[in-house]
């Protein structure tokens, strides 16, 4: 592979002042640009390492209810693809309303899932009946996400969506077909690894809400979280 140019060199060549930039601002922004270039390179290195993972464990024959009320196996969620991405959201039958953070994440995917599904299958999994999940989806104006209900709680327990005390956690997972088998390729495992004073988050964080706020002076803030409704 060709030797990459130093990030500082690339940043210096690309850095151009906006109107009325001070020399202090431009110098700081150029230094930040070099770090952003390094971050992009690191993200790609991590993605390459992820793609190179060896075969994961074979998934048991979990069953789900689809929107037609039929009971289908995990393999059926792949459709025409050999890769499946699933999101287990916190909207079990004991919850009056779904988790606002899950809602923010899924809401950001309802339109781009039309593009995502050209490459891989994407399914939303919940412990509530599909009809209940769909009712909320339509309330939010979602039209493109596909929902399934877990048949029993084995899947949620096995893949970190349900704690022993019955509390729910979101779970983002990737699955691959290996002949007739379904294997777990990758799952988000960042929970419990956060630094002091930091919320648990992915690396990179998959939620556009947080990525946009990270660009701003105040960032994510220390106590603000999305809600299901705003005044």
Rg of the Cα atoms in the chain: 21
The residue ranges of every structural domain in the chain are 7-12+25-52, 63-187
Cα→Cα distances 192→51, 93, 169, Å: 24, 26, 12
Q: Name the token pair of 221.
A: 């803030």
Would you write out the chain's pLDDT as a tens digit for each of its 231 residues? 579 999 999 999 999 999 999 999 999 999 999 999 999 999 999 999 999 999 999 999 999 999 999 999 999 999 999 999 999 999 999 999 999 999 999 999 999 999 999 999 999 999 999 999 999 999 999 999 999 999 999 999 999 999 999 999 999 999 999 999 999 999 999 888 989 988 888 888 899 999 999 999 999 888 899 999 998
State pTM to two decimals: 0.93
H or E segment to which residue 134 belongs:
helix 130-140
Residue with tokens 């689809």: 66
Strands (E), 94-180: 121-126, 147-150, 171-178
Give per-residue pLDDT as tens, 97-112.
999 999 999 999 999 9
The three-state secondary structure class of 125 is strand
- CATH class label, 63-187: alpha beta
Number of H helices, E strands in the chain: 7, 7
Cα→Cα distances 183→66, 67, 216, Å: 21, 24, 39
Looking at residue 79, its pLDDT comes to 97
């Amino acid at each position: 592979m060709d030797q990459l140019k130093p990030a500082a060199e690339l940043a210096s060549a690309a850095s151009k002042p906006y109107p009325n930039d001070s020399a202090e601002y431009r110098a700081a922004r150029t230094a930040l640009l070099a770090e952003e270039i390094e971050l992009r390179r690191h993200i790609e290195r991590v993605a390459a390492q992820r793609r190179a993972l060896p075969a994961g464990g074979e998934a048991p024959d979990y069953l789900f209810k689809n929107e037609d009320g039929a009971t289908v196996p995990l393999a059926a969620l792949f459709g025409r693809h050999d890769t499946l991405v699933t999101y287990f959201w916190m909207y079990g039958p004991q919850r009056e309303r779904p988790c606002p953070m899950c809602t923010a994440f899924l809401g950001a995917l309802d339109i781009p899932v039309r593009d995502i599904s050209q490459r891989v299958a994407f399914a939303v999994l919940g412990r509530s009946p599909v009809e209940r999940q769909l009712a909320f989806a339509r309330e939010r104006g979602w039209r493109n996400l596909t929902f399934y209900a877990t048949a029993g709680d084995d899947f949620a327990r096995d893949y970190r969506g349900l704690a022993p005390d019955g509390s729910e956690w979101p779970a983002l997972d990737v699955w691959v077909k290996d002949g007739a088998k379904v294997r777990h390729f990758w799952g988000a495992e960042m929970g419990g690894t956060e630094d002091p004073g930091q919320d648990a988050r992915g690396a990179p964080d998959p939620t556009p809400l947080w990525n946009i706020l990270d660009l701003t002076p105040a960032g994510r803030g220390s106590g603000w979280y999305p809600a299901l409704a705003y005044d």
